[in-house]
Amino acid sequence: MSTQIRPAPVRKSVFVDAPQNHAFDVFTSGIGRWWPKSHKIGEAELDKPVIEPRAGGRWYQLGVDGSSCDVGKVLKWDPPARVLLAWQLTADWTYDPDLVTEVEVTFTPEGSGTRVDLEHRLLERIGERAETMREAIDSPNGWGLLLQLYSEASAE
C-alpha cells in the first residue's frame, strides 16, 4: 500500500586549493586525517577510518582497541580522477553486506586547484533494507532522527 519514495542523491562540491593528485590522496589514503570522529560503528572507540587503495579494497574503521568494522569497499579506483566507494551502512550505522549505496568522488583540476564533487546515491536501498515500516519509523534513526535533526537545527 505504500509508495516507495526515491530520495535524490546527495551531491556536494568543494574547491580545494591543492593539486588533483594531492586532493585524491588526502581523500583516500589520508581519510583518517579528516573523517569526522563523531560516529562509531562498532563497540570500540573509533581510532580512524582506512580505505585500501585498490579496486576491491576494504573501507573500514579501526577501533582504538585494534578491532575493525567494515564501512564498505572500493568499487572503482581511478587515481587521481575518481574513486567509487560502496557505503554499506544502514540507517543506524551498522554494516550490512547486502546493502550497497554508492559514493562517487571525482577530482577535476580547476585553475590553481581541484574541484571535488561527491555524489552519494541509491539511498532508497537503505529503506529497502529496513525491516518493516513501523520499525523504521519508531527506530531512533527513523522518526527519532528527524526530530533530533530538527531540534539540533533549531538550537543553532
Partner 1 sequence: MTNSSRVFAALNDPTRRAVLERLRSGPKPVGEIARGLPVTRPAVSQHLKVLKEAGLVDDRAEGTRRIYQIDPKGLGAMRAWLDQFWTGALDAFAAEAERSAKKEKE
Chain residues that interact with partner 1, rule: CB under 8 A: 1-3, 5, 7-8, 10, 12, 14-19, 22-23, 26-27, 30, 33-36, 91, 116, 118, 120, 123-124, 126-127, 130, 133, 136-137, 139, 141-143, 145-146, 149-150, 153-154
Cβ-based nearer residue to partner 1, 69 or 105: 105
CA 120 – CA 82 distance, rounded (Å): 14
Phi, psi of 67 (to 5 degrees): -75, 160
CA distance 84 to 122: 13
User: 53 — phi, psi (to 5°)?
Assistant: -80, 65
Distance of closest approach, residue 54 Cβ to partner 1, in angstroms: 21
**58 or 115: CB nearest partner 1:** 115
Characterize the bridge pairing of strands 113-121 and 58-63. Answer: unpaired
Nearer to partner 1, 1 or 111 (CB): 1
> Is 16 or 62 the residue whose CB approaches partner 1 more closely?
16
Collapsed DSSP state (helix, strand, coil) of residue 25: helix
Rounded to a whole number of angstroms, the minimum distance from the CB of residue 45 to partner 1 is: 19
Q: How far is the CB of 10 from partner 1 (least distance, A)?
A: 5
Which bin fits 92, alpha (ψ -120 to 50), beta or left (φ > 0)? alpha
The residue written with cell numbers 577535476 in the block is 108
State in angstroms the smallest separation of the CB of 41 from partner 1.
14
Q: Between 54 and 143, name the residue whose CB sits nearer to partner 1.
A: 143
